Amino acid sequence: MTKTLIRNGTLVTAAETFPADILIDGEHIAAIGQNLSALDAEVVDAGDKLVLPGGVDAHTHFDLEMFDTVSSDDHYTGHKAAAFGGTTTAIDFVPQTPPSNGQTDGFRRDVETWWRKAEKAAIDYGFHMNLTFFDEQVARHIPDLLEMGITTLKVFTAYNGRLRLDDESIFRALRIAKEHGMLVMLHAENGDVIEVLTREALEAGHTSPEWHALTRPPQGAADAILRVGGMAAHLNTPLYVVHMNTAWGVDILQYLRQHGAPVMGETCPQYLFFTIDHLRRPDGAKWICSPPMRTAEDNARLWEGLAQGILQTIGTDHCPFFFDGTHPIIYEGRPVAIPGKELGRDDFTKIPNGLPGVQDRLPVLWTEGVVKGRLTPNQFVAYTATNPAKIFGLYPRKGALVPGADADIVLWDPAKRVRYGVAYSHQRTDYNLYEGWELTGYPDKVFLRGHLIVDGEHWLGRRGMGQYLHRQMGEIL
């Protein structure tokens, strides 16, 4: 087995920062300490670099069908982009299909479909299970997910008639999760309010992208967080609120946690920087996602939620679409064109909901968070690697720099300056939200289980090298 010795680096974990060497033996970290030696090891000098655990993105959507098209990154292209941004583990969502033709195997058909999609995986990956249909048969089969390494269920309080569960079904799902040590994840919006406001907007001829936000009021998200958070508090079972985007949400999460409710929250980079005004631009469709962009005040409160430890993680909700899928881009030497946001040029309700972000997350957050003093380097590691690994049952295999952990390691160059944008990104789409941003700090080398997969701008990874992660029960943070 090959050995690699990373010398003279400064290790940054969620708890501390210290100088040390790391010895990698095969796919795992063998030792951490001062002045390590191994005669048969390849030596990598990290003297001017920081050494971070590989990022863990617990919220991604690859190869997802939506609005007569499909998200433009699959489990190879999206994973490759993630690696260039310093992320070595991604957790995707498996859509649930209703049972048909007397089917009795529960969720297995859906999970096997996603396993086949992920055969091309380039980094390590796991799955969450969407729970969008609920009856007695579904209830019986939820524990079967544990045998497939899936310990998390996602429920929706929006998308009436498609994804939404009623409150009784969510409550019952929470009880089943509690009984079996699973975690429920919540997409928090008020589907009934959205339906009324959307219908009224279209009847009035309001079809531009800003109405995507105006028909999804922030109070609806607050209502859902409090309502389902109250269920979790009553049952004393954990709840994880995904892609939080409002000041109201942060306030309610803080209230719930102060009163002992085991509720945790995730935000995403887009909600820290962009507002409804971006939807009012001529290219506003680029910023269409659900839940939508809000206000500068919401941005500020989310930063406070991170600085104060009210929130627990930063994911991406990576679900990219072409801005104009009628024009191909060149990806790995071949033209690619996938129908995208042009599908809704005359109707905001037909714009595919989703954004690119899996590569952008760490470099943008380092510049805007660490360099600008909003986050410490240790908080950065906690929110982007260690906390998601703990919550989703991957720690200390992932998200940690400790002997025995997978050697998922990023050599981070804090001095590297990058003019960022679509030309620098490996996400398979035709635009980037951070076009022209000046970034300071970027990955130099990325190791996946001891294998060097990114070396500067050189891709050394390959299709199919990612491993499926059979997740265990996670922690409540």
As beta bridge partners, residue 454 has 446, 459
Tens of pLDDT, residues 459-475: 999 999 999 999 999 99
Q: How many CB atoms lie within 10 A of CB 406?
A: 26
Express each pLDDT in 232-278 by its tens digit.
999 999 999 999 999 999 999 999 999 999 999 999 999 999 999 99
* pLDDT tens string 267-288: 999 999 999 999 999 999 999 9
Number of domains in the chain: 2
Which distant-in-sequence residues (6+ apart) come within 8 Å of 235 by Cβ? Answer: 171, 174, 175, 178
Rounded Cα distance, 94 and 274, in Å:
28
- Choose among 305, 313, 317: nearest CA to 360: 317
In a domain, 465, yes or no: no
Domain-embedded: residue 475: no
Whether residues 369 and 383 share a domain: the answer is yes
Res 288: pLDDT: 98
Same-domain pairing of 132 and 222 = yes
Cβ neighbours, 10 Å, residue 257: 18
In a shared domain, residues 422 and 340: no
Residue 476, domain member (yes or no)? no
List, for residues 154-210, the tens digit of each pLDDT value: 999 999 999 999 999 999 999 999 999 999 999 999 999 999 999 999 999 999 999
359 with 307, same domain? Answer: yes
pTM over 0.95? The answer is: yes
Do residue 237 and residue 339 come from a single domain? yes
Domain region containing 29: 3-52+400-459
Tokens 């939508």 appear where? Answer: 292
Please report, for the domain that includes residue 414, its CATH number: 2.30.40.10
Q: Do 448 and 386 share a structural domain?
A: no
Flag whether 158 is in a domain: yes
Asked whether residue 319 is assigned to any structural domain, the reply reads yes
* Nearest CA among 197, 185, 249, 243 for reference residue 219: 249
DSSP β-bridge partners for residue 186: 155, 241
Sign of CA dihedral 134, 135, 137, 141: positive
CATH number at residue 322: 3.20.20.140
DSSP letters spanning 287-323: G--SS--B-HHHHHHHHHHHHTT-S-EE---B----S
- Final residue in a domain of this structure, among 342, 367, 391: 391
